[in-house]
């Protein structure tokens, strides 16, 4: 782990704040005493000015009483002035005439230096409406300085306390910030190391994901190939069904219709007598009935009209009943539970074909005595499915062995009943499960998704086929 560079925020902040703290201490310590000193001087100045005006008024009254002797009776005048105008802060009073000559009123004498330490204010001396001199009053400033010094001590201590507080609080906060930043830097270094370790294994993870994607792509290709095979097989099944139907119509219905035509032609030509003509007519009628049955079977192979007429449930029940009649000894129990309007025509046709193929395989190979058929609707989350289950008590078979034998056979050799069923189910995105073993019977389960049935479900071709059957 690399060494963490120390963070010196407190030293940086302390160096920047010390001048500010000193300035704050000076401002707090000096501002109040200085303001008090200035206010005290202003008060003394006002007091001295008021005293000067009072002294001028006293002198004016004395002059009114003794207009000639006011200059010479200074002692008596001084006693009047001191009695009426002197205050505690007044140090000295002087009266100067208009020529600048001082009128001696007695009292304390001050040298030049002492006079400069005093605060002087004057007032004009007006006698009989004429300014004859000025009264100067001096106030002592010692008390203002002493009071300011007294204030300097507590405000100095207050400034020091405030400065210390202002200096200490940010440094304390900065110390906390240093610790947090140090912790963040430490965690950042740890994350960098973890990231470095992750980067070392990233290529391996990418390689593993690439392998998984390649496998998924290969699986997708296999499914695509399988889909093409199923589609091709579906086309082959359609062509095979068409060839079977064409062969049935040619071999049975075509020959029967030819025989009917020949018999009718002979009857029309009068070759036979009445008795013989009756026999030939009866045979022709029987041949006609057989031909109609062959045509009906061919049409059913194309698409059972009973689906359009009565629906899947009735069609399956009738087919199961016909199967019991054709195959003696096999009983079929049919349990169908389907809601109305769930299945599309393609899905109904596929299910009907699956029922046909299942029962046909049972009749050919299973040697069964009982068959249970179930057809019901299933809701899986948001998806609706229809399930077909066919179970018999026959001899069963090895499904894997049967699948390998089907693959080895060439097209057209038969034996592809189960493969055709699986392909038909896969074309509709369904699943087909076969559970069987030799001697244990067979259980077939087909699950198909069922899209909503449109209102106009019967296609025109289906309608025409139903009309032909009728």
**What's the CATH number where 440 sits?**
3.30.565.10
Neighbouring C-beta atoms of residue 414, cutoff 10 Å: 8
Range with the poorest average pLDDT among 22-36, 312-326, 356-370, 399-413: 399-413
- Give pLDDT, residue 86: 52
Give the confidence band of 75 by pLDDT, cuts at 50, 70, 90: very low
In angstroms, the CA 318 to CA 356 distance is: 11
Alpha-carbon distance values, 314 to 114, 175, 265, 375 (Å) = 138, 88, 43, 12
User: How does residue 103 score in pLDDT terms, banded at 50, 70 and 90?
Assistant: low
Tokens 């193929």 correspond to 357
CA atoms of 304 and 308, how far apart (whole Å): 8
pLDDT of residue 459: 46
Whether residue 465 is predicted with pLDDT greater than 50 in this model: the reply is no
Task: Compute the distance between CA of residue 18 and CA of residue 167 in angstroms, rounded to an integer.
Answer: 7
The per-residue DSSP string of 347-386 comes to HHHHHHHHHHHHHHHIIIII--SEEEEEEEEEEETTEEEE
Residue 371: the pLDDT is: 94
For residue 222, pLDDT beyond 80: yes
**Within-domain flag for 194:** no
Q: What is the pLDDT of residue 4?
A: 47
pLDDT at position 171 over 50: yes
Query: Tokens 């769930």 sit at which residue?
Result: 342
Q: Is residue 378 part of a domain?
A: yes
293-308 average pLDDT score = 68
Q: How confident is the model at residue 463, as a pLDDT?
A: 42
464: tokens are: 């025409």
**Tokens at residue 356, please?**
């046909």
Which residues does residue 93 pair with via DSSP β-bridges, in sequence order? 137
- Domain annotation covers residue 253: no
For residue 415, what pLDDT is reported? 52
**Containing structural domain, residue 388:** 304-469
Predicted confidence (pLDDT) per residue in 268-284, tens digit: 777 767 777 778 778 88
Q: Residue 129 half-sphere exposure, CB side, CA atoms within 13 Å?
A: 0
Q: Is residue 432 part of a domain?
A: yes
Residues 58-73 have pLDDT tens digits of: 777 776 766 554 555 4
Question: Helix 460-469 crosses helix 274-302 at what angle (to 10 degrees)?
Answer: 150
Evaluate whether residue 310 is within a structural domain.
yes
Higher pLDDT, 414 or 145: 145
Top-confidence residue, 61 or 248: 61
Res 447: pLDDT:
93
Closest to 355 in 3D by CA, of 400, 321, 403: 321
How many angstroms separate the Cα of 236 from the Cα of each of 45, 298, 386, 405, 416?
A: 128, 18, 26, 19, 12
Residue 361 counted as domain residue: yes
Question: Count of residues for the chain?
Answer: 470
What is the rounded CA–CA span in Å between residue 394 and residue 397? 9
Query: Is the confidence at residue 456, as pLDDT, over 70?
Result: no
Nearest to 365 by CA among 438, 435, 447: 438
**C-alpha of 170 from chain center:** 41
Mean pLDDT score, 321-326 = 86
- Tell me, yes or no, whether 132 lies in a domain: no
For 97-106, 120-129, 433-442, which range has the lowest pLDDT when averaged over its residues?
97-106
Structural domain count of the chain: 1
Closest CA to 30 of 19, 22, 40: 22
Residue 35 in domain? no
Tell me the Cα Rg of the chain: 65
Q: Is a pLDDT exceeding 70 seen at residue 51?
A: yes
Looking at every residue in the chain, the average pLDDT score rounds to 77
Q: Whole-model pTM?
A: 0.43
């Amino acid at each position: 782990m690399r060494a963490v560079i120390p963070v010196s925020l407190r030293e940086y902040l302390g160096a920047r704040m010390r001048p500010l703290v000193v300035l704050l201490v000076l401002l707090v310590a000096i501002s109040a005493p200085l303001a008090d000193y200035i206010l005290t001087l202003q008060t003394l100045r006002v007091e001295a000015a008021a005293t000067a005006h009072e002294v001028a008024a006293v002198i004016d009254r004395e002059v009114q009483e003794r207009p000639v002797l006011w200059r010479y009776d200074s002692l008596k005048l001084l006693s009047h002035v001191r009695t009426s105008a002197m205050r505690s802060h007044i140090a000295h009073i002087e009266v100067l005439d208009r020529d600048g000559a001082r009128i001696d009123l007695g009292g304390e004498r001050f040298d030049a230096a002492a006079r400069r330490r005093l605060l002087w204010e004057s007032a004009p001396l007006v006698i009989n409406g004429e300014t004859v001199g000025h009264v100067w009053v001096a106030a002592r400033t010692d008390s203002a300085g002493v009071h300011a010094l007294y204030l300097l001590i507590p405000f100095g201590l207050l400034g020091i306390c405030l400065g210390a507080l202002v200096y200490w609080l940010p440094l304390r906060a900065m110390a906390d910030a240093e610790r947090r930043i140090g912790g963040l830097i430490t965690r950042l270094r740890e994350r960098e190391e973890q990231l470095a370790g992750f980067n070392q294994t990233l290529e391996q993870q990418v390689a593993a994901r690439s392998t998984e994607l390649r496998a998924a792509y290969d699986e997708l290709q296999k499914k695509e190939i399988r889909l093409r095979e199923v589609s091709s097989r579906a086309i082959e099944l359609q062509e095979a069904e068409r060839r079977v139907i064409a062969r049935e119509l040619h071999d049975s219905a075509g020959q029967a219709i030819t025989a009917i035509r020949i018999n009718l032609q002979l009857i029309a030509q009068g070759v036979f007598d009445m008795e013989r003509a009756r026999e030939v007519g009866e045979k022709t009628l029987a041949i006609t009935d057989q031909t109609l049955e062959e045509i009906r079977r061919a049409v059913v192979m194309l698409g059972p009209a009973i689906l359009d007429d009565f629906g899947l449930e009735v069609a399956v029940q009738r087919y199961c009943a016909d199967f019991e009649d054709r195959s003696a000894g096999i009983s079929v129990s049919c349990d169908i539970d389907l809601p109305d309007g769930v299945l599309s025509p393609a899905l109904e046709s596929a299910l009907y074909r699956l029922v046909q193929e299942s029962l046909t395989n049972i009749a050919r190979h299973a040697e069964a005595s009982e068959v249970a058929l179930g057809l019901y609707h299933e809701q899986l989350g948001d998806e609706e499915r229809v399930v077909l289950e066919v179970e018999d008590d026959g001899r069963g078979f090895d499904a894997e062995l049967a699948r390998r034998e089907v693959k080895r056979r060439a097209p057209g050799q038969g034996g592809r009943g189960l493969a055709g069923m699986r392909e038909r189910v896969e074309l509709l995105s369904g699943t087909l499960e076969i559970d069987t073993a030799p001697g244990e019977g067979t259980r077939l389960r087909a699950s198909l998704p069922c899209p909503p049935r449109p209102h106009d479900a019967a296609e025109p071709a289906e309608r025409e086929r139903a009309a032909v059957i009728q």
